[in-house]
Structures are given as C-alpha cells and as structure tokens.
Amino acid sequence: MGIADGKRALIAGVANDKSLAWAIAQELHAQGAEIALTYQGEILEKRVRPLAEQIGAEVVGELDVGNDAHIDAVFARLKEKWGGLDLMVHAIAFAEREDLRDRFLRVSRANFAKALDISAYSLVAMARAAEPLMEARGGGAIVTLSYLGSVRAIPNYNVMGVAKAALEACVRYLALDLGPKNIRVNALSAAPARTLASSAIAGYHSMAHLVDEHAPLKRAMRPDEVGKMAAALLSDLSSGVTGQTVYVDMGYNIVGL
C-alpha cells in the first residue's frame, strides 16, 4: 500500500513530460492515488492525453483558470465522477514573456493584474470549488508550486516573483479558512527546473547553473524529488502541516553568498 492509496487527486498544470506537475502525478499514481488531469487549450490537450494514458488517469476537461465556467465544469465533472476529492495540486502560473525579460518597473497594469489573477487568485478559486468535495471525503490536502523569487529579488523573475509572493500569502489564509474542515494547504518551493515555463525567463540557464553550484548539495534538483515531497505533503505523513512553504531546492534558500 502506498501513502496515497485510495485517494482521489486532481492535478492541474501538466503541460508536458517535463512539468513538475507531471512528476507529482507520476508519484501520486505510484503511491496508489486515482488521478484526474486537466489541460489548457488544444495544443496542450494533445500532450496531456497520452500522459494520462500512461498512468490510467482521466482527463476531466479544459481548465482555463481565468474562466470561472471552466472551473465550475471541472469540479462538477469530479463530483459526478467521484462524489468527492481528497487531493489537489495547483501547478499553474503565467506572466507575459516580455515581463520576464525587461525591467520589472515596466510591467503594465494589465499584465500585472493578469499575472496575479492566473498565478495566485486561481488557487483561491480552485480551493473554493474543491472545499465541498473535500468536505464530503472528511477533509483533504492542497499543494501549490512556488519559487524562491517570492521572497528574494531574482533577476528577470520580476512580476512572477510578486505573483508567487501573493500565492504564498494565499496559502496561509486558505490554510486558516479551510483548517476547520480538515483541509490542509501548503506550497512547495522548488529549485529552478528545466520546464516549458522556465524557458521564458531570460538568463534561466545561467541562473540554474548558479543554484546547482552554490546549493549545499552541489547538484541540480531532480523532478522526482518534487514529486516525492508533494506526495508526502498531500499524505497523512504530513497531517499536522498546513500553511507552510516547503523548499525542495538542494538547500539553496539557506545560502547567503
């Protein structure tokens, strides 16, 4: 028996087989969870469906988190399919490419609002939709993905760092709101990962190399390490942990120089 045996998990944010969300999906599947995936747009659907087949997951619909009708439809499908929900992974973020390459002070009002809406508010919207389904199962656990740029100024991370700071604040307030329902909410802050999203950040490869070189463990993070920690945070092994940001970054966040 695995640590997620018998659990029902929604994972939102798988883009391809390099996604950290995919590493989490694989680990939860290995630990016995039943998985549901979403996709955003036709191009990503073509990538997600073959991955879903690999782990016997069901694709429960398109999820554009800026569209409340999409959120309602996905959670209605989950209610119809399972009647309830135990686990949810929020691995969704967005900033315009130019805002990850130019000076932060040049971000427009519209782009700032969009980044925070998709990257941070979406967790609130999804948690609100998940609450009754998790309550029906006696409780649940939610994990979202963050990054060190939420607490430090990382060159070129810019508005995404602000959005991740808001995301981590949302984690704390959601943990307070949902705790009485036995629903835990945590963030997992990973080291730089070579994903579709990171490719938009100017100077990403130099940044990743610097982290690998200066982290206490002196190596790059493996995606499966994110998967394992997420599974632990979502399982009863972490039954007393909520409202936290847990780092999986080879210890880089503790280094001063």
Q: What is the CA radius of gyration of the chain?
A: 17
| Nearest CA-CA partner of 195 in 167, 231, 226, 169 | 226
Q: Which residues have a catalytic role annotated? A: 147, 157
Could you write out the DSSP letters of every residue in 160-219?
HHHHHHHHHHHHHHHHHHHGGGTEEEEEEEEPP--STTGGGSTTHHHHHHHHHHHSTT-S
User: What stretches of 65-157 show up as alpha helix (H) in DSSP?
Assistant: 68-82, 109-116, 122-135
d(CA 208, CA 38): 28
* d(C-alpha 253, C-alpha 191), whole Å: 9
Which H or E run includes 20? helix 20-30
